[in-house]
Structure 1
């Protein structure tokens, strides 16, 4: 029997679903777990052993099922389908079209599917763990880890005083894209302290990284890797970094997965919904929103007002605080986000 799980989203979204995928494994041990997701992301999780195969999927297009996977393995028409993509109805219907023996998903009358209720105020990790735990797939935030909980050095980075600072200035949408001049001031402040900084970004973010990299550091302590790292190489870099600094995007979730200390800038979405769900002592978040206020569109094109209120000086201050503290041991899963830097 095959279990087909759908999460055809970006890196950050995919990583918040890893715990639920591990729960699916526990619910149906011995079953083949196929993930419908973007090919590069799904193949990476396949190589890590989180899933058995990836069904290359972009968005909510019709899923080619039955599917001949690697080596010519043919999946039977019937399968168990798990919707880890959204509340429906589009994602429900995409899986219903595969004619599964059963669909595990949140309830949606428009898709004629009964199921658990969708809670807007639930942390993204807990939401999917609740869905899967309800069918016997025990899982929780601790299942987010992709590396050991406590590597030999205590936190996945080189010894204190060594290792690079990873700065990821980009984000997929303008609402979460902090201004480049402010990132540049942060980088200058870090290198002035003798720290080595590595900039990361997608091929589309190379121009942004060139703007962030201070001119005087063109051949100095700032290395620009934008557009040149595969996902496995990026994950390896993050796992060995001393600190990761970014906005609320996929690289921040990589830091959570590998237990690498991080500083994350939030804007349209509260860290209570999308912040680091494990090892709170290792992660600092900066957010100038109001607790309990509704989330704004994280995919909007204009810079979010809460993110706009974050200053470069504040980010430098929080980075220095993170660098001063000794490596923290794995410390459980409460609270469900890192320590929030209050507004000044």
Structure 2
């Protein structure tokens, strides 16, 4: 269920809400289920978004630590399978298509899990699949306005005033799983590093995805000015994006060349493996608030997130060398579920200056001269 697809969200709303709540009324009548005495097979689900999946890795590690001997099955969607393959904790990943309810229910039920933990926040269909999973016990989120909490045996409030990782931890506490581990990815080795010949790489990720993505994008002329301020002799600017971004990447590369800056397009063809290796080699990664930003932060790369409608305390980067730049003034940092733009400020990204982003980039890169040697402060 893609957050950016209006068609999918309408289907989830008009089909998911009545279907879920009618069935919950029928199936839950007179039933009060408790956590099973023995958990041999445990299922988990999370949002199909890249960033959400990477943040979910913290909760999955906690589940793995608490259930060391159980088989853990991660129910994934096509959109987040590549990201799920990088996060540790699950024994197996099972692909489901949230837009095909009958097929998805069959696949979930076929796994015969004892417990199913649903870490999605707004999708009614995932709550429906939890209800129909055949699990002995289910848990998930009760999110304001989403009418989904009745799909579980127990539900915890999904809050807008804390980071998503802390929402995941609230769900773990609800079922008495001790939380506390941080997001993590494990990246396979590569025979050859991307852009191996480049000695100084700066990664820019300009484009967001999803609902009204342009409201989370920074003006292109500011990216070019920032590049000029960050450039050193031999710097290569890697402009990352999805294949669908290529039609915008090419004109931007021409603008960079006109400014005397060397820039190349980088669109990975192996999921996120080569991208992860590139991000780890970067002097600094500057990105709008999107999945690539979260990947860079979790990897420990020096990362700057340009937030705008997002807020650090809700969707900011989590990493030892990561910082988020927020829009000054009132009315920004309002996104909660990722599509709640109506009636909100539309100029948040324009309020963020080059100087603000440059200062953050210098802070996280931490490059300084020490006896003629370049040192990275971690």
Q: TM class by shorter-chain length?
A: 0.7 to 0.9
CA distance in 1, matches of 2:216, 2:152: 35
Determine whether 1:97 maps to 2:135: no
Per-residue deviation, residues 219-238 of structure 1 (Å, max 9, x unmatched): 96322113656311111211
CA distance in 2, matches of 1:23, 1:60: 29
Determine whether 1:171 maps to 2:211: no
Cα contact 2:268–2:275 (8 A) shared by 1: no
CA distance in 2, matches of 1:284, 1:260: 11
Which residue number in structure 1 is paired with residue 347 of structure 2?
A: 305
Partner of residue 238 from structure 1, selected from 265, 279, 290: 279
Determine whether 1:251 maps to 2:292: yes
Per-residue deviation, residues 189-212 of structure 1 (Å, max 9, x unmatched): 333664221111001111222232
Bigger CA radius of gyration: 2
Q: List aligned pairs for 1:22-33, cutoff 5 A.
A: 22-33=61-72
Aligned length, in residue pairs = 309
Gaps in structure 1 of 5+ consecutive residues = 69-73, 149-160, 330-344
Q: List aligned pairs for 1:4-83, cutoff 5 A.
A: 4-39=43-78, 41-46=80-85, 49-59=88-98, 61-62=100-101, 64-67=104-107, 75-83=110-118
Per-residue deviation, residues 104-160 of structure 1 (Å, max 9, x unmatched): 2134554364322222212101110221133233332x4213259xxxxxxxxxxxx
CA distance in 2, matches of 1:43, 1:296: 25
Give the TM-score normalised by structure 2.
0.71
Q: Could you tell which deviates more after superposition, 173-182 or 119-128? A: 173-182
CA distance in 2, matches of 1:47, 1:271: 24
Which residue number in structure 2 is paired with residue 333 of structure 1?
A: none
Higher strand share: 2
Cα RMSD of the aligned pairs, angstroms, is 3.3
Partner of residue 169 from structure 2, selected from 110, 117, 129: 129
Give the C-alpha shift of residue 164 in structure 1. Answer: 1.1
For residues 88 and 229 of structure 1, do their structure 2 counterparts lie closer, same or farther at Cα, with a shift above 3 Å needed?
A: closer
